Every structure is written in C-alpha cells, then in structure tokens.
Structure 1
Amino acid sequence: MKRRSEPHTFDENLSAEKARLEVAFANIKPGPQRELLERKLRQIETASHINEWLTSPGLQPPK
C-alpha cells in the first residue's frame, strides 16, 4: 500500500507550481507555449495575492 505524503498548504502548492513554471519559462523559446506559461505565471501571482487577502487577520466576517 502506498503511503500518502503530508498534505501541503495552498501557498506551498502555488509556490512549487510557480517555481516549476519559472524554470520552464526560462528554457523555452518565444512563441505560443511561452505566452501560455507567462499567462499561467500571472494567474498564480493573482491567486497568491487573493489568498493572502482572504487569509489576512484584518479580514472580518460581516456582522
């Protein structure tokens, strides 16, 4: 039976995916694939900022 690894946080998953895409982006020639990677990197940055905002201690639920 295969053991499961420890669960990772959303931030850890985003960081790992960002690092993987940055390496791929640096090693690819200009073209449609590079543009796709650039778009994915921007989406990850946006997701990271939104997650930061949603998990900030200053965010309060409506009363």
Structure 2
Amino acid sequence: MQTRRRFKQTTSFQDRLSDFIAGARSEADGGPGGADHYELLKKIRQAETAANIERWATSPELQPPK
C-alpha cells in the first residue's frame, strides 16, 4: 500500500486565496476578452466564494448546533 505524501503549508488558506485573487485580477485586467478571460473571472469568483465560506466557518460567532 502506498503512503500519501504530506505537505505542510507555510501560509494560511486565506492568505493563499488572497494572493491568487490579487494575481488573477491583475492578469484579467490586462488581457483581452475571450473564453480564457471569462474562465479566469469564473475562477476569481470561485476563490472569492471560498474565501467568504472559510471566513464564515472560522468566525468566532459560529456556534455548534444544539
């Protein structure tokens, strides 16, 4: 049985998402429109949604169900 390789992340998930969003936005702003441009915008929206969900899930106000 193969063992799974583990990789320890050095930055938080929120930081990695923020970096991706900033880089992708600058790339999307400079490029022409087209299928690749819309695909990049879709990935940006997905990353923003993931950031919002992660921020909500780790918020101190979130209480477990009773």
TM-score (norm 1): 0.84
For structure 1, the residue ranges without an aligned partner over 5 or more in a row are: 1-5
User: Aligned pair 1:58/2:64, yes or no?
Assistant: no
Residue 19 of structure 2 corresponds to residue 10 of structure 1: no
**Aligned 1:1-63 pairs, distance under 5 A:** 7-63=10-66
CA RMSD of aligned residues (A): 1.2
Aligned residues, how many?
A: 58
Q: Which amino acid aligns with 1:57?
A: P
Q: Deviations over 1:22-59 (max 9, x none)?
A: 11101110100000011011001100110111001011
Relative to the length of structure 2, the TM-score reads 0.81
Q: Tell me, in whole angstroms, the C-alpha distance in 2 between the residues paired with 1:25 and 1:31.
A: 11
